[in-house]
Amino acid sequence: MNETPTHGPIVVLSGGLSHERDVSLRSGRRVAQALRDQGRDVVESDIGADLIELLRSLDNPVAFPLLHGGVGEDGGLQQVLSLLDVPYVGSEPSACRRSFNKAVGGPLIERAGLSRPRMAALPHDMFRELGAQAIMAALGERLGFPLIVKPARGGSALGCSKVDAPAGLAAAMVQAYSYGELAVVEEFIEGTEVAVTVVELDGEQIALPAVEIRPNSGIYDYTARYTAGETRFIVPATLDATAAKACADMAIGAHRVFGLRDLSRADIIVRPDGTPVFIETNVAPGMTETSLMPQAVEAAGYDFGLLCAQLVDNAWARHVTSA
């Protein structure tokens, strides 16, 4: 009877050329060290022209992508790994594309019966051709104020602005378009902001305890996310049991709607009446010292390094089974 082959080095992929490069590098270093602490053989690599050569030089590598934004979450990197027949932690390319593009993901969530903000997705060309003032007036009439303006593709709240009055809408749109040609405008949802991580272990999708987010500035922007002391995190979140379960169900529901696997993190606003509203899902959650997923892992009683190792082993087992 042939023994199941074991995997080789774990290639932790981070960096890249997106606006979130620094955060990605910090995530990569933390996961790489956690895996080494588990006795695993780890190779750390940035994304560049020599990556394919590196992967082909290793025996039975397994990749752990930790790129945030850009090719790390839009399915591009996952497509390359699939072409190279290198197993990896995380979702398939098509699932990444569905969740990463907010203009695509939002309608899918709504059709699945999950609550989300009213929104409009607008390409930059429309503003040039139809007139910015007329479109902004229509946005205000349709969605009301305050509004949230963000790039359709991106993360870490880069290019995201809260707009309290019509006078601030133009600048917010310009900022969003600086990160991409498509912007999303959403109604602002008042409530408690939480993040719910979903992990797949032993064939089961598990929602970890919700992390409540209380930024000092009132807005969970890039500075609040990645500067120590700028945001207070409470885990488990101060939700009653009914609201906490509703958030867990929503996170798992979104994970399934997009067809994700291994891990994801849903960002949710809980209205004062306890009703959760879906904002977005991340397929490559941050793993830095201020990131939300590691806090949820600890609150759930899991060892972070062991969990990362299990995700790698799951990716390898999936690869061997499908071979």
CA distance 108 to 102: 10
CA distance 145 to 161: 13
Annotated catalytic, 36?
A: no
| Helical axes 304-322 vs 292-299, angle rounded to 10° | 100
Annotated catalytic, 286?
A: yes
Q: Are 163 and 145 in contact (CB under 8 A)?
A: yes
The helix (run of H) or strand (run of E) holding residue 265 is strand 263-270
Q: Name which of 236, 243, 309, 310 is nearest 270 in CA terms.
A: 243
Among residues 14, 16, 18, 20, the one annotated as catalytic is 20
Annotated catalytic, 280?
A: yes
Give backbone dihedrals phi and psi of 251, rounded to 5 degrees, phi first.
-65, -45
Annotated catalytic, 265?
A: yes
Give residue 24's identity as a one-letter amino acid code.
Answer: S
Annotated catalytic, 226?
A: yes
Give backbone dihedrals phi and psi of 107, rounded to 5 degrees, phi first.
-60, -35
Q: What are the counts of helices (DSSP H) followed by strands (DSSP E) for the chain?
A: 12, 13
Annotated catalytic, 267?
A: yes
Among residues 153, 280, 302, 314, the one annotated as catalytic is 280
Among residues 282, 291, 302, 314, the one annotated as catalytic is 282
Among residues 156, 264, 291, 314, the one annotated as catalytic is 156
CA distance 216 to 174: 25
Three-class secondary structure of residue 17 per DSSP:
coil
- Residue 320 burial by CB count (10 A; 0-12/13-18/19+): exposed, middle or buried? middle
Q: Name which of 27, 173, 180 is nearest 102 in CA terms.
A: 180
Among residues 76, 265, 302, 305, the one annotated as catalytic is 265
Within the chain, residue ranges assigned H as helices are 21-37, 51-57, 76-83, 93-100, 102-111, 124-130, 132-143, 169-177, 222-226, 241-258, 292-299, 304-322
Among residues 74, 193, 262, 267, the one annotated as catalytic is 267
Among residues 76, 90, 105, 286, the one annotated as catalytic is 286
Among residues 226, 264, 291, 302, the one annotated as catalytic is 226
Give me the active site residues, please: 20, 156, 226, 265, 267, 280, 282, 286
